Structure 1
Amino acid sequence: MKRFEPADLKERLKLYLVVGSVNCRQDAAEVVEEAIRGGVTMVQLREKGRNALAGNAKAELGGRILAVCRRYGVPLIVNDDVDLALALDADGVHIGQEDEPADRVRERIGNKILGLSVHTLEEAKLGAELSADYFGVGPVFPTVSKEDARPVQGTAMLRNIRRMHAAMPVVGIGGITAARAPEVIQAGADGIAVISAITQTPDPYLAAMELSRALTVSMAGRNPQA
């Protein structure tokens, strides 16, 4: 049995913080703790980009973030670094289309969570066949947080993927703010993944709380046929 079944994952994906040292205004582990206190339900360590940590420094940061996540009972996912995820005994791995193939990652991580970035219906179909546990779909809106971001998708792709994969946990990512969260939820996402909406604010706790409140209201009024 997997650590988290689909229903559990849908709950966990409500407010998904993607974080790395390069996109934080303060220590990343401190940002994670404040954000979790404010309502973040899952965390992804994504240490990429210019001036990103590597080797022992990256592992040390991962260990500190994991300790915070464990203290609050929040899952930690590692982006595109299976070795680090296994070394930390993190809860899972998230990969993109250009990273290590999903079937190989699944073999290596066993029953840990496997998240997959998808941008087309074809990628989603293959990801489901390869036993991905959830899809990250985007960028929904323009974003400056990722240097390697794909073209903006809008909410149409979210709607299409939800229609084709009704049971798959799905999270929207890319330029999502508290004001834009309702559009993403109404399109069928189970939650939102954010970077700068929390990491680039002076108060990650308040930022996370505002996002969490917007999501709670959006989910209460969402169209079940979305």
Structure 2
Amino acid sequence: MERFYLITGDVDWIEKLVPHGVKLVQLRIKDQPETEVRRQVIKARDFCKAHSAQLIINDYWELALELSCDFIHLGQEDMDTADFTALRKAGIRFGLSTHDEAELDRALSHNPEYVALGPVYPTKLKKMKWAPQGLDRIRRWKQMVGETPLVAIGGLTPERLAGVFEAGADSAAVVTDILQAPDPVARTQEWAEACRL
């Protein structure tokens, strides 16, 4: 699994940043009408294909099925309604969010492509009901997930990557550190370089 995992809320960011070393990117659209979501998913799917990047669609699993996207990410609430049988039948891979051991057990029961753990550090992205998990939790999760790749998310920066990878994360997901940087393209390049080390 790619060590550098970019998450953005708009296809425009994908077009701007993917050419600068991004091989794994999630499109996480919130609060948009379905026609806009569909437009962005199609555009992102085609752009990522042309740039040999793996696109992951957040939440919209039915749209992913319809539009032949091959990878989705689901939170715990989305798992309540997702048709895992239909996803498997269509060959769609999926990653699942976890925050505590009960959620991890539930996620692993679906044999996901990866399990995400967060927030590792305090995050500005959204109010979380979970305290920062820390590196010790990454170590514990890695023991529990076995061969399943582990994605760390939440408050990550290039400076924190060494500790995150040493603790056992296979991939580092980033949102605000790039999207809110003074120069998002330069920051993306920093991330790509840091994840290669």
Q: Which of 181, 205, 208 is the matching residue for 2:161? A: 181
Q: Which of 50, 64, 85 is the matching residue for 1:107? A: 85
* Cα distance per residue 1:166-214 (max 9 Å; x no partner): 2111110001011111111111011111111222234332111101222
Please say if 1:63 is aligned against 2:42.
yes
Report the count of equivalent residues: 195
Please say if 1:18 is aligned against 2:23.
no
Secondary structure of the residue aligned to 2:159 is coil
Write the distance in 2 (CA, Å) between the matches of 1:119 and 1:185. 18
Q: 1:63 to 1:202 in 2, by over 3 A?
A: farther
- Give the C-alpha shift of residue 38 in structure 1: 2.0
Indicate the residue corresponding to 2:67 in structure 1.
88
Q: 1:45 to 1:127 in 2, by over 3 A?
A: same
Q: For structure 1, which segment, 120-129 or 83-92, has the greater mean C-alpha deviation from structure 2 after superposition?
A: 120-129
* Cα distance per residue 1:129-157 (max 9 Å; x no partner): 22211011110011111245632111222
Q: 1:181 to 1:105 in 2, by over 3 A?
A: farther
Write the distance in 2 (CA, Å) between the matches of 1:140 and 1:90. 29
Q: Match for 1:45: what amino acid?
A: L
8 A Cα contact 1:139 1:149, kept in partner: no
Q: For structure 1, which segment, 73-82 or 172-181, has the greater mean C-alpha deviation from structure 2 after superposition?
A: 73-82
Write the distance in 2 (CA, Å) between the matches of 1:18 and 1:176. 12
Q: Match for 2:5: what amino acid?
A: Y
Indicate the residue corresponding to 1:42 in structure 2.
24
Q: Match for 2:73: what amino acid?
A: H
Indicate the residue corresponding to 1:31 in structure 2.
13
Q: Which runs of 4 or more aligned residues in structure 1 lie more than 4 Å from their structure 2 counterparts after TM superposition?
A: none
8 A Cα contact 1:170 1:189, kept in partner: yes
Q: Match for 1:46: what amino acid?
A: R
Indicate the residue corresponding to 1:221 in structure 2.
none
Q: 1:63 to 1:142 in 2, by over 3 A?
A: same
Output the aligned Cα RMSD.
Answer: 1.8
TM-score, scaled to structure 2: 0.90
- Give the C-alpha shift of residue 105 in structure 1: 3.2
Q: Match for 1:53: what amino acid?
A: Q
Secondary structure of the residue aligned to 2:196 is helix
Secondary structure of the residue aligned to 2:157 is coil
Please say if 1:161 is aligned against 2:117.
no
Q: Match for 1:99: what amino acid?
A: D
Secondary structure of the residue aligned to 2:158 is coil
Write the distance in 1 (CA, Å) between the matches of 2:13 and 2:182. 10
Percent identity, aligned pairs only, is 32
8 A Cα contact 1:38 1:204, kept in partner: no
